[in-house]
Amino acid sequence: MGSSSSYLSPSGFRESSARALAHEEVVASTYRIGDEIARTDHGVVYAARDMMLDRDVAFVLAWRDPGTPSLITEARRCAAVQDPCAAAVHGMGVYNNVEFLVGERVTGTLLRDTLAMPLAADQYLARLRTLVAAVVRAHEAGIAVGEVSGATVVVGADGRCVLGRLSLSQVPAVGPHGIALAPEIARGDVASDDPAAAEGIDLYSLGCAAIELACGAPPFADDDAEVELRGHATQPPPRLADLRGDLPTEASDLVEWLLAKQPANRPRSAADVLAQLDAIIDRLGSATRSVRVLIVEDDTARARWLWSLCRRAHPGVIVETASEGTDAAHKLNRDHPDLVVIDAALRGVMNALELCMYARGLHDGARCEIVAIGSVPPRDRALFDGAGVGFIADDLRLPGNVLDRVRAAATAAPRRRTPPTTISG
């Protein structure tokens, strides 16, 4: 017997260099085996031909290694996601005492290879929406994606995008470094397969995909895995607005939110990201505005952030801002907004409470909704309550709560017959 270094694993085992199935071999009197596509933890993937139905398929044969997980898990994962982002599953069986899986043959080009030329703004938003919608469908089925990137998405000739995680292993599920890239993983806070961290990782991955779609390379890309991980862990990501000035400002703000270093600071869900992105896209093609929001905030940066957030809540929103009470009073008189969002700590000639009382005095028959952000001293709370003012806590839930308030106002507001006198947003 030769030394262990010269030992060759038998055909069908993970370490074997020999094909598990011969070229042109016919399995189950139906599937003619072709070229090998990939080797995964679960098994080896072949291009094949279904001779009964006369179509190309992917044929996955499980490894013979003891302890190899069943292919049924992968089959159920793809079958659970009712969306073009997942490969269709045709069936399963056993051949020579080894499990096999047959599914749709996925063809196309890796996303990264389609980005040599910049996408036009409308193409960019459409492609990003496709990726976000794919993650939404996966999450609805209880499936974590892990990585959405140019290396893990294949684009078909018709523009269809298939996620590597849902491709029956015809497309890689992770990039060249073999690990999903997110700050919490890079810092060692969580494991990449931690179910509790999965949604946050997927959201961050969508932010990375948005940057890659814009400039052809994901943030912090480097051949050295340590350098790339360090970038994700500690360095500020590029801003979409700096990469692509032709894209809506609100899109840049949404991507910046997705790329927050702490999972708790990211959006609530992929579904909410999709709703915001739809509002951005619909706004570009909409000439009708039906909901008016006034933001009263003396911090310029925070006012701009709230302005963007409100515009992402609904495509029919007109957003005005005011930095102090007297300017806000003028805009209340002029525009009669449906929703007024006020910094509860507003000071000046007309403070937050005085502005709320003034707003209530203007609207007898058509009362606008007034919401204060933050808290007020207990001695003033009864006065705010008397003016019918709602409160939103200034915490991590603030962005989601503002989105909900604006959407509710959009649903309740009557359709405007005429546009406002002045539109600044």
* CATH code where residue 23 lies: 3.30.200.20
Residue 69, amino acid: P
Size (the chain), residues: 425
Which one is predicted more confidently, 7 or 57?
57
Percentage of residues in the chain with pLDDT exceeding 70?
93
Using the predicted structure, report yes or no on whether residue 422 has a pLDDT greater than 50: no
What distance in Å separates the CA atoms of residue 91 and residue 106, rounded to the nearest whole number?
16
Whether 6 is in a domain gets the answer no
> Residues 75, 185: one domain?
no
Say which range, 200-209, 282-291, 348-357, 358-367, has the weakest mean pLDDT: 358-367
CATH code at position 178 = 1.10.510.10
99 and 126 inside one domain: no
Are 99 and 162 in the same domain?
A: no
Same domain, 56 and 129: no
- Confirm if 180 and 146 have CB atoms less than 8 A apart: yes
Q: How many independent structural domains does the chain possess?
A: 3
Mean pLDDT of 14-24: 90
Rounded Cα distance, 205 and 225, in Å: 16
Banded pLDDT at 103 (limits 50, 70, 90):
very high
DSSP strand pairing (389-392 vs 369-373):
parallel
- Residues 249 and 376 occupy one common structural domain: no
Q: Which residues contact 425 (CB under 8 A, 6 or more apart)?
A: 307, 311, 318, 319, 320, 321
Structure tokens given for 415:
């359709």
- 369 within 8 A of 339, measured Cβ to Cβ: yes
Q: Coil, helix or strand for 103?
A: strand
What confidence score (pLDDT) does residue 286 get? 67
Position 1 scores a pLDDT of 41
187 vs 420, higher pLDDT: 187
Residues 271 and 301 in one domain: no
Evaluate whether residue 4 is within a structural domain: no
If pLDDT is split at 50, 70 and 90, which confidence band does 419 have? very low
What is the mean predicted confidence (pLDDT) over 216-224?
93
Q: Which of 250, 276, 302 is the last residue of a domain?
A: 276
Where would I find the H helices in 171-269?
183-186, 198-215, 225-234, 240-243, 249-258
Nearest to 322 by CA among 359, 292, 291, 295: 295
- Spatial separation of the C-alpha atoms in residues 212 and 219, rounded to whole Å: 7
Which pTM was predicted? 0.87
- Mean pLDDT is lowest, of 74-83, 96-105, 170-179, 280-289, for 280-289
Average predicted confidence (pLDDT) for the chain: 91
* pLDDT of 421 higher than 80: no
Q: Tokens 């006034």 — which residue?
A: 294
Q: Which of 219, 242, 276 is the last residue of a domain?
A: 276
pLDDT at residue 343, as a whole number: 96
**Does residue 163 contact residue 153 with C-beta atoms inside 8 Å?**
yes
pLDDT in tens, 241-295: 999 999 999 999 999 999 999 999 999 999 999 999 999 999 988 656 678 999 9
Domain residue limits at 248: 109-276
| Least confident piece of the model among 86-95, 174-183, 238-247, 334-343 | 174-183
pLDDT one-digit tens code per residue, 140-195: 999 999 999 999 999 999 999 999 999 999 999 998 888 888 999 999 999 988 99
Tell whether 7 is covered by a domain. Answer: no
Residue 297 counted as domain residue:
yes
Q: What is the pLDDT confidence band of residue 2, given thresholds at 50, 70 and 90?
A: very low
- Residue 383 falls inside a structural domain: yes
